Amino acid sequence: MLVRDAMSTVVLTIGPAHTLRQAARLMSARRIGAAVVHDPDTCGLGILTERDILDAVGSGQDPDVETAGSHTTDDVVFASPAWTLDKAAESMTHGGFRHLIVLDGDGGPVGIVSVRDIIRCWTPSRQRTAALTTR
């Protein structure tokens, strides 16, 4: 199975000046765990995850003052829609993260694939395989 089959095409894109509270509200409303942060000044893409927000708030930072740009991961590993889920999972494991931004051929974000997306896709096929081997 490929990343394109598992990824969420709901991509929330925010700017670096969004506060963490604004980002959290937008992410919560869409029921997603990560937002793409686009900085037009650097033409770069980064990612802000629920974990980033949780870490900031947990360390006593003010979510109404702290900005997405200050908590964005800029050193991002991007996935291709044509990657296998095994390759995406390997990249996540190697990098220690739970989300990959999926880019199209022009370098624009077309989706995000999460560990949850991969597990959701693998679970039915693993169950079918287990059922066949127990017969």
Percent pLDDT > 70 in the chain is 90
pLDDT given at position 125: 59
Q: Which of 12, 18, 5 is nearest to 79 (CA)?
A: 5
Tens-place pLDDT, residues 78-135: 999 999 999 999 999 999 999 999 999 888 899 999 999 999 999 865 555 555 555 5
Q: Which amino acid is at 15?
A: G
Structure tokens at 57: 């708030």
Tell me which residue has tokens 């949850």: 116
pLDDT > 70? residue 76: yes
Q: Which of 36, 56, 32, 39 is nearest to 47 (CA)?
A: 36
Domain of 111 in residue numbering reads as 3-133
CATH code for position 125: 3.10.580.10
Angle between helices 50-58 and 20-30 (to 10 degrees): 140
Tally the domains of the chain: 1
Can you say whether the dihedral through the CA atoms of 15, 28, 63, 98 is positive or negative? Answer: negative
pLDDT given at position 44: 84
User: Cα 120–124–94 angle (5° rounding)?
Assistant: 45
Query: What is the distance between the alpha carbons of residues 105 and 81, in angstroms, rounded to a whole number?
Result: 9
Contact 33, 50 (CB under 8 A): yes
Higher pLDDT, 44 or 16: 16
pLDDT given at position 123: 86
